[in-house]
Amino acid sequence: MSIRNFYYKDILDKLHINVHVFRTGKYKSAIEPITRNGPSKEIKKENLKIINFLWKQYLKKISINRNIKIEKICPYLNKKIFRFKDINEDMTKYTKNNKLVDYVLSNKNINNILRKKFSELTNNEKYKLINIYEYKLKLFNNTKKNEFPSIGIITNDGSILNDIHNKNAINISTTISKIKSAKKDKNIKALIFFINSPGGTLSESEKIRKELNNFKKSKKPLIILMGGTTASGGYWISTAGDYIISSPTTITGSIGIFNYFYTLEKSLKSLGIYYDNTAISNFTDNNVFHDISPELKKFIEFHMNINYKKFLEIVAKSRHKSIEEIEKIAEGKIWTGYQAKKIGLVDQLGNLDDAIKKASEITNLKNFHIKFIYTKKNTILSNFLFLQTNKFIEQKFLNMFQMYFPVFSKKNIHAFKFNKDLIYIMNNENKEYLYSLNNRNFIK
């Protein structure tokens, strides 16, 4: 495992680009690539701690699951010279001999092995195999879905930016619509809000946090489930949760704020270009063609400190700690989920199953549906355009889908819709199915 970064200080200096940096917390590392030619000692030390922990967890998980000693997994990483002769230059044999895999097989032999294995377990020599795509899943009982309590799930993956065209960013307006939908839905008794984000702008993070707090007015429990990374703005949002769950290897924390922008007065000067602006106040004259005024610098620093103080306050209130306690673990420091549990930034280590279990415990639900919340097109115009442009495509898609999955005939499909990577099917018995094009699998 490794943490890699490019650093641009020298190239920015050579291009005479003036970088104005404002930040709270000496461990806020996101700004270092433009201010340094390498990581600071503090950040290097923190990065080493993080990857060493993640690596140990990785080896530990393999060791437990494969029932082998940790030293046997990657011994060559600890040797100066790895002798391929020891394994006859065959990595496949190496993995088999060290129990990293159970079998080395061709595709033709896999089914025979599986058939034999399950025949032994069931004492049935004629044990049959069935393809997952032909397996008919019974996801709901005969109770109508609209009359059954549900635990809602909203998923979010990406940076928190005000940029709807950025594929790597969370769509803020869509997320807010989902939260409002969960609040209005009487059948949703609790909400699991999954977030996997390195952070983003404070203003957009606050919009989501504010809407989640508004959701809590419905008296429905809110469980935050962290993904691989839920830091900075991601943690800002997480503070709205009644209960926070992360995995041991989640990267979280980074309680701090930074901002930066460029001015080009030095670049222009090197080309013989000069800029002047006569204005009522230097405070309001802010553009890339000249250095920022001392008044504006003071204002930005003042504003940053206010927002950092607010960050500390909402974390302290959420985690039932004093501001002084939060200050000790803030300053932009990042923590693994395991560490975050110890210092009180999260409540539990776990996964989606644990989040569902916690939601059912809080709400005393024994029988419930899991409902992934998606937004619907609301306006008449958008509905009309959607239907007209997608009617032909959906029909073709349905025909193709039925070719691969004959279990869904035209007679037993009541509704069929697709959206990006998901296909939604409802049969005549009101049983619902979701098929993921990404995973090529049915999901419950």
Active site residues: 28, 232
Query: How is residue 294 written in tokens?
Result: 């001392």
Query: Do residues 241 and 206 make contact, with C-beta atoms less than 8 angstroms apart?
Result: no
**Residue 309 Rama label (left phi>0; alpha psi -120 to 50; beta):** alpha
The Cα–Cα gap between 402 and 316 comes to: 54
Inter-CA distances, 396 with 3, 133, 305, 393, 432, Å: 45, 19, 57, 5, 21
Query: SS3 of 244, please?
Result: strand
Vertex 156 angle, CA 152 and 162, to 5°: 130
Work out the number of other CB atoms within 10 angstroms of the CB of residue 333: 21
What's the N-to-C CA distance of the chain in angstroms?
33
Residue whose C-alpha is closest to residue 193's, from 159, 230, 218: 230
CA–CA separation, 268 and 84 (whole Å): 58
What is the token pair recorded at 359? 């939601």
Question: Which candidate, 50, 52, 33, 16, places its Cα nearest to that of 260?
Answer: 33
Vertex 428: Cα angle to 422 and 433 (nearest 5)? 25
- Which two structure tokens, joined as six digits, stand for 421? 């990577």
Tokens 């159970």 found at:
102
Closest CA to 212 of 187, 186, 244: 244
- DSSP code of residue 253: E
Q: Which two tokens stand for residue 30?
A: 């996101």
Report whether 301 contacts 288 (CB < 8 A): no
Cα 163-391-432 angle, rounded to 5 deg = 80
